[in-house]
Structures are given as C-alpha cells and as structure tokens.
Structure 1
Amino acid sequence: MGEGESPLYLRDPAAWRKQLAEGNRRQARKRVASEVILHDETGRLLLVDPSYKPYWDIPGGMAEANEPPALAAVRELREELRLDLSLGTLLCVDWVAPHGPWDDLLMFVFDGGTLPASQAASLYPADEELREVRWCTYQQAEELLRGDVWRRTRAALEVLAGGGPLYLQEGRPVTGS
C-alpha cells in the first residue's frame, strides 16, 4: 500500500474478501475434539468403550464443522449417553500429534462434575458408537486408557484438584516454547 493509498478493504471490498478467502483456504485446518471428565459420588471416573477403536476412552468426541468445543462435548454426551448436563470449567487443551491416518487435533477437556448415584447407575451406551460404559478407579483408568489419553486425563484430574487450565502437547504440560 503506497503512502496516502487507502487499504484494500476500503478500495475494493470484493478483492479484499477474495484475498481473505484465499488465505483462509491455505491455512491449516485443525480437527477439534472434546472430552468430559465425569465422576460418580464415590469418586470413580466414567470411561467408555468405543466400538470403532481398540481402546477405552473418556466420554466425548469430534466437533462438527464450526462447532464450539464446549457445544461439541454437550452434544456428544447427549448422543452417546443420553446425558444432558452443563459443563464446568475447561481443564486443559491438548495438542495431539498426527497418528495413523489422522492429522493433528486439539482436544479440549472439560469438567462434567459429579453425577448423583441414581443417574450414574443408569448410564448406558445410547448409540452404536459405544459398546460399554464403566465407572473406574484412577488405577483402573490408567490400565484401560491408551498412554497419551491417560496422561491427558491425569493432567485434567490434577487441574480439578487445584490449579488453572493447562496447555498440553500429547498429554504433557508445556510451560513455554
């Protein structure tokens, strides 16, 4: 832009929008997913056994296009467990490296609170994506979850015990770059 020349968005709004669209097309697309840490009244953690992968997981799932992470978490709980609840605080955001056929993603982990005993006992898989739900001690969770998922879960549990949200990379806290 030359001296005295107005910015493109003022000179030619259509060209400016085209420039923005081209920039948007070239930028990285991050997959986004959300998990929810849920406890029962005895302090056990809810795990789910997805039908589409060979390991246990924390309840949650992938965000749809342009869906905020918190809304994705609430939607996934409703679809997979018929569970309607308001989320608590954000516990951590974990950058997950590319793996298998998948590109990297950002995993948001929220506090889902403690479910009353009657509600906790009545949870069951509500669609074909889950085979089983199970309330687990932390030791059982560590044994059932894949290593990176357990690291992320443990970090989220530590935030619940006291502290602020964490930024993680593959389940490990990052304090600077």
Structure 2
Amino acid sequence: MFINRGNHESKEMNRTYGFEGEAKHKHGEQTYKGLKRYFVVHGGLFSKDGVTLEDVRKIKRVGQQPGQEGLMYPQEMPGRGPSKRGVGIAFGPDVTKRWCDANGVTGIIRSHEVRQDGYAIEHGGLCTTVFSAPNYVDQAGNKGAFIRIDAFGNQAYTQFDARPHPPMKPMAYAGGGMANLLMM
C-alpha cells in the first residue's frame, strides 16, 4: 500500500517506527506484503501520463509542493479534463487502468469525494472511493465507511451513520485559507 501524505509512508519509516514489525507480528508476512498492492491517495491520479510511483516517492513531504494537486483533488470522469470544482483534474477508468498497469498495483483507494453509501467501487474495480465522514458538514445525509483488506486482497467495507454531536457550526475548528471565507 502506498499511503498518502504523512511522514511514515516509506519502507524505512515503516520499519523504524514499528508499522512493518507490528503488521507482520499481528497479521503475518502475507498481510504486510499485501499492503503494497494499493496506491492510497486523497484525490486520485495525475494531469498527465507517465507519472510513476518513483516520482511520487521523490515528492518532498514537508509543506505544499507545486504539482501535487493531482494527488489531492481529482474527480472521476472518462479520460481527463478540468474538475467541476475548479481545483485539480478529473480522471476516468482508462487513465486508472493505464496507471495501475504501468505501476504494478492492484488498484487505487481514494477519499476526496462524498459517496452516499460511504464508499463506491468504480473504474471496473480499479478505483475505490472511501469517504469516512458521515453526514458530511451536517448536510449530505451520507454514510461513512472504512475498508479492510485481507492478505488475499479481499475487500470488506464497514458503513456507519453519523452520531449526534454538540451543536457547532460546520468547520468550526477550520483555520486559514478558504476556511476564513466560509466562516464569514
């Protein structure tokens, strides 16, 4: 599994901080090897062909780097085109298949867009969107979900509903950028 942004996605960091050892101890060698089958990213794929996992590995992980919008904000459509939201690009099953084949991964797991059931299996099974925020911004009425993948690559989804919470405005804890505009 290629884990999205953070500081523990490299093999060395997984080993140093214990993820590799814990995964092998609790779930076996095959489960740990199985994690390498999927590319997990917030948004999706890239605005051009030819971007590889090696290119992703070279991205500096501190701060915002130019050209990472593809990883963070794509939406799905056939081929590629401008995103309806105005940030990033949209991509389709043809792009997903080419990228998975070229990079030797089983599929892509992303999270950027609300799915009413909390998840959706798309692009002929190559792209799964998992959205874990139920009733997004207290308005969407969607379920949340998470995914479990066993050592054989079988996927199981758990759905859940929103829980009551203290009365707060949506994004009450957000800060900076667009959040300042939304709070006005």
Q: TM-score range by the shorter chain?
A: under 0.3
Q: Relative to total residues, which structure has the larger strand share, 1 or 2? A: 1
Higher relative contact order (CA 8 A, sep 6+): 1
The alignment's TM-score, normalised by the length of structure 1, stands at 0.27
Larger radius of gyration: 1
The alignment's TM-score, normalised by the length of structure 2, stands at 0.27
